[in-house]
Structure 1
Amino acid sequence: MTALRWRFVWQVARKELLSTVRDRRALLSGILLPLLLIPVFTVGFPALLGRAFSGQGQERQRVGVLGAFPESLRERLTAGRTDSAGRHEQGVVLVPVTDPQAAVRNGTADAVLVFPPNLPARAGEPNATVKLYAKVGNLKAESGVISKLNAALDDYNTRLVSEGLSERGIPVSFLTPLRVQTLDASRPQEAASGQLAFLVPMFLLQFILAGGMATAIDSTAGEKERGTLEVLLVSPIRRPEVVVGKLLATCSTALLSAACGLLGLLLSGPVSRLLVQDSGGVASGLGGRLSVTPASVLVLIVMALSAALLLSALLIAVSIFARSYKEAQTYVTPISLLIVFPAIGLQFADFIGHGAGLYTLPVVNAMVVILDVVKGKLTLPFAALAVAVNLLVTALLLLLAIRSFGREGVIFRN
C-alpha cells in the first residue's frame, strides 16, 4: 500500500473533530457522564446501600407473634442490642396475629414468630422449633427484620445455655475450645475495590464506545446521507488517508471520554474517603475506595488507547455500510453487547480464572486488564498480550474499512 500522506490524514481528522465539537450534546455527554457516573457507582452507590442497610437497624419493624413465650425473650426482642462497634440496634414492635403467612403477605407484619407450646425455658429441656415467617430473599427483610430476629433468638439460646452451664459449675468457654479468626490476606486494592469492581471496566469501555460512536457515524453514514462523502472521495486525498483520518478523529473523541472516565476513577478515591467510613459495613464490602498507582495509570492509558482504536475501527467498518445516520445507529448499537455480556461475566472472574487465553479475546481482554488494575493484581505480560491482540484486530478492521471505502456498491448504497 502506498505510504500515507499524513498532512491529508490530519486534515480529514481535523474536519471530523470540528464537526463533533459543534455537536455540544455529544461532547458534553462524553465529558460529563464519565466524570459523574464512575464516582457515583464506585462511591455513591455503595455508600447509599450502606446507609440503607444500616438504616434497617434503626427502624423498628412490626413482628407478629403467635403462641406464648417468656418475658425475657420479649424484652430482648423489643429492647434491641448494641453491636460490637458500639452502635445500638433498635428492637421490634410485637403485634398479635392469627394467620402468619397472611400477615406477612398483606404487610400487617414484616415477619411473624410462631412459638410452639413446649418452648424450653431452661437448657436441657426437650428441643423445640420456633417458626419464622418472612419474605426470604427480600433484601430489605434479610438485612433488617430477619437478621434482628435471628440475633435475638440466638441470644436467647446462648443465655439458656450459659445459665445451664453456670448451674453445673461449667464455664461458657467449655463449649468453644477452638475459636477461628478470619484475616483478610487480599491485596489492599483488591480489598478496597469490593464487589462492585467489575462495573469499572464496563463503564470505561462503554464511555469509549459512546464517545467514538457519534463521530464514527457522522463521518460515514452521516456524510453519505448529506452527500458530502462523494466530494471528499473525489478530492486528491487517497481512500486509505480518508479512512485513517476518520479513525484518528473517532479515536480522539473516544479517548476523551476514556480520559474523563479515568479521571472519574481517580477522583473516586478521595471522594470515598470523605463519604465512606471504614466501618467494615456494607459500603466498604461493596467497594468505594478505589485507588491506582502511577504505573497502573500508565497501563490503563495504554489499554484504553488500544481499546479505543479497536472500537473506533469497528464502528467505522460497520457504519460505512449504513445508508443513513439512523440506520447506522441500529448497526452499531448491538456492539455495546460486546461489553455488557463480558462485564456480567466479570462478576464471576474469581471462578473463571485468568489464563493467557482470556487476554487474547478482543475487547474482553481490555476489561480483564482494567479489572486487574483496579484489584491490584496486574500481570504485565498479559497486559502486553492484550494490547498486541487489540492492535492486530484494529489493523484487520482498518483494512476492511479501507476496502469498503473503495467499493462503489458500499459508498453509493443510498
Structure 2
Amino acid sequence: MRDIYRIFWKELVQVFRDRKLVFSTLILPVLLMPIFMFGPSLVLQRLLQGAQERKQEVAVLNLPEEALRALEQAGLSPKAHPDPEGAVREGKYPVGVRYEQGVYRVYGRLAGGLTEGQVAVSKVQGALQALKEAKVAEALAQRGIPHQVLTPFQVEVVDTSTEREKAGGLLGFLLPFFLVVFVLTGGQVVAVDATAGEKEKGTLEALLVAPVPLLHLAMGKTLATVAMALLSGTSGLLGLALGSTMAATFGGGLLTESGQILELGGRLALDGTGFLALFLSAFLLALFMGAVMVSLGLFARSFKEAQSYMAPLQLLVLLPLIFLQFRGFFELQTWHHLVPLFNVALLMDALLKGSASPLQAGLTWGSTLVYAGLALLVAVRVFSREEVVFRN
C-alpha cells in the first residue's frame, strides 16, 4: 500500500504544481457553468423583450383596412409594397403580408434560429388571429348566437410529477452528462502526463526498474487519475448546481431550437443517503474511466498522441448518455443497468427523482466495479508489455 500511495502522491504533486492547469480544471468550471446555464437565457429574454417592444415595419399588399388597423394595434407599421415576399427575402423587411382570395399569406425568414423576423411574424399572426376571432364573434352576434359556442369545453393539463422530479428538472440528464465530461477532462490531465508524458521525459523507465509491483504502479497512477477526475467532476457539479439555482431563482433556463426557454430544476432534493449513493456512483465511474485512460495513455507514443486518443474516447462515452434523454420513450429493463456508462446515468437520474431501487443501485455499482477491475487489469497488462511501454 505504501508503494501505491507514493505513486499516487507523486502524480498529484506534479499536477498541482501547474497553477494554470489547476485553475482551468478545478476553478474555471465553477465560474463558467452558471454563465453557461443562466447567461444565454437572460440575454435571450432581454432580446425578445426588446423585439416585442419595437415597432417593426411590415411589407403589405392588398390588405383591407381592418387588417391594417389590427397590425398597427399590434405594434407594427404596415408599408405598402408590390412584392412582400421578395422584400422579405432580400432583407428589406422582417415580415410581409399579402391578402389574396380570402387568404392572408405571411412571409418571414424562419430558418437559421430565433431572429427578430420570427418575433415580427408571431406579432402578425397574433394580430390576424385576433381579427379573425373578432369577425367570427361579430358574425355570431348578428345571428343571435353566443360566442361561447366556439369553446364548448376547456382542456387543462396537470403535471403529476412528484416534488423530487419537479425539483430535479433537467438535472437528471445534465448532471450525468456534465459529470462524465468533467471526469474525463480532469482525469486525462493526470493519465496522459503519468504515462505518455513520462515516456517523453524519460522517467518511466526509471520508475519501472524500481522495486514496485506492476499492479501497485498501475493502481497508483489510476487512483491519482481518479482523484483528479473526482475533483474536476465535483467542481463542475458545483458550478452546475450554482447555475441551476440561479436559473430557478431568476427564471432562466435552456434555449431550445424553437426559441422556448426550458426551465431547469433549481435544487438537488437529496438526503444524506442519496448524496452518498451519488458520490459512490461518481467514484466508480471515475475508477472505470481512469483505468481506461491510463491504458490508452501508456499505449500512446507521445503526449500529443495520447491527447488525440482522448477526443474520440469522450465522444464514445457520451454516446450512451445521449440516449438518456429518450428514457421516457421505452420501458426500462433490468439489463439496462448493466450497460457501461448508461447504467450510471440511469442510476443518477433515478436518485435525483427519488425512484432508485436497491436492485438498480446494486446492479449498477457491481457491474461498474467489474468494468473498472477489468480496465485495471488491462492497464497492468499494458505495463507488463515492453513493446508497448517502449514504443516511442
**TM-score, structure 2 normalization:** 0.90
Partner of 1:64: 59
Query: Quick check: 1:46–1:287 contact (8 Å CA) kept in 2?
Result: no
The alignment status of 1:291 with 2:291, answered yes or no, reads no
Query: Quick check: 1:213–1:250 contact (8 Å CA) kept in 2?
Result: yes
Letter in 1 for 2:208: L
Q: Distance in 1 between matches of 2:36 and 2:171?
A: 8
Closer/same/farther in 2, CA of residues 374 and 100 from structure 1, 3 Å limit: farther
Query: Quick check: 1:53–1:143 contact (8 Å CA) kept in 2?
Result: no
Partner of 1:76: 70
Deviations 1:304-351 (A, max 9, x none): 111111110100011111121111111222111023333433343322
Q: Which moved further from structure 2: 155-164 or 98-107?
A: 98-107
Q: Distance in 2 between matches of 1:362 and 1:13?
A: 26
SS where residue 115 of structure 2 aligns? helix
Q: Distance in 2 between matches of 1:373 and 1:103?
A: 54
Q: Distance in 2 between matches of 1:379 and 1:135?
A: 50
The alignment status of 1:136 with 2:110, answered yes or no, reads yes
Q: Distance in 2 between matches of 1:263 and 1:198?
A: 16
Query: Quick check: 1:104–1:112 contact (8 Å CA) kept in 2?
Result: yes
Deviations 1:162-187 (A, max 9, x none): 11122222211122111111222223
Q: Distance in 1 between matches of 2:176 and 2:274?
A: 14
Deviations 1:146-203 (A, max 9, x none): 2212211111111011111222222111221111112222234544555686343222
Closer/same/farther in 2, CA of residues 370 and 103 from structure 1, 3 Å limit: farther
User: Alignment partner for residue 38 of structure 2, among 43, 47, 51?
Assistant: 43
User: Alignment partner for residue 238 of structure 1, among 183, 201, 213?
Assistant: 213
Task: Give matches, 1:156-167, under 5 Å.
Answer: 156-167=131-142
Q: Which moved further from structure 2: 358-367 or 232-241?
A: 358-367
Letter in 2 for 1:332: M
Letter in 1 for 2:72: T
Closer/same/farther in 2, CA of residues 173 and 146 from structure 1, 3 Å limit: same
C-alpha RMSD of the superposition: 2.5
User: Alignment partner for residue 92 of structure 2, among 95, 108, 113?
Assistant: 108
State the 1:56 CA deviation. Answer: 3.2
Q: Distance in 2 between matches of 1:259 and 1:394?
A: 20
The alignment status of 1:398 with 2:376, answered yes or no, reads yes
Query: Quick check: 2:246–2:252 contact (8 Å CA) kept in 1?
Result: no
State the 1:36 CA deviation. Answer: 2.6
SS where residue 132 of structure 1 aligns? strand
**TM-score, structure 1 normalization:** 0.85
Q: Distance in 2 between matches of 1:293 and 1:373?
A: 8
Q: Which runs of 5+ in 1 are unaligned?
A: 1-5, 81-90, 119-127
| Aligned residue-pair number | 386
Query: Quick check: 1:211–1:254 contact (8 Å CA) kept in 2?
Result: yes
Partner of 1:364: 342
Query: Quick check: 2:178–2:237 contact (8 Å CA) kept in 1?
Result: no
Partner of 1:88: none
Closer/same/farther in 2, CA of residues 391 and 404 from structure 1, 3 Å limit: same
State the 1:288 CA deviation. Answer: 5.7
Q: Which moved further from structure 2: 144-153 or 338-347?
A: 338-347
Task: Give matches, 1:19-34, under 5 Å.
Answer: 19-34=14-29
Partner of 2:229: 254
Closer/same/farther in 2, CA of residues 63 and 377 from structure 1, 3 Å limit: farther
Deviations 1:184-242 (A, max 9, x none): 22234544555686343222111100101010111111112211111111111111111
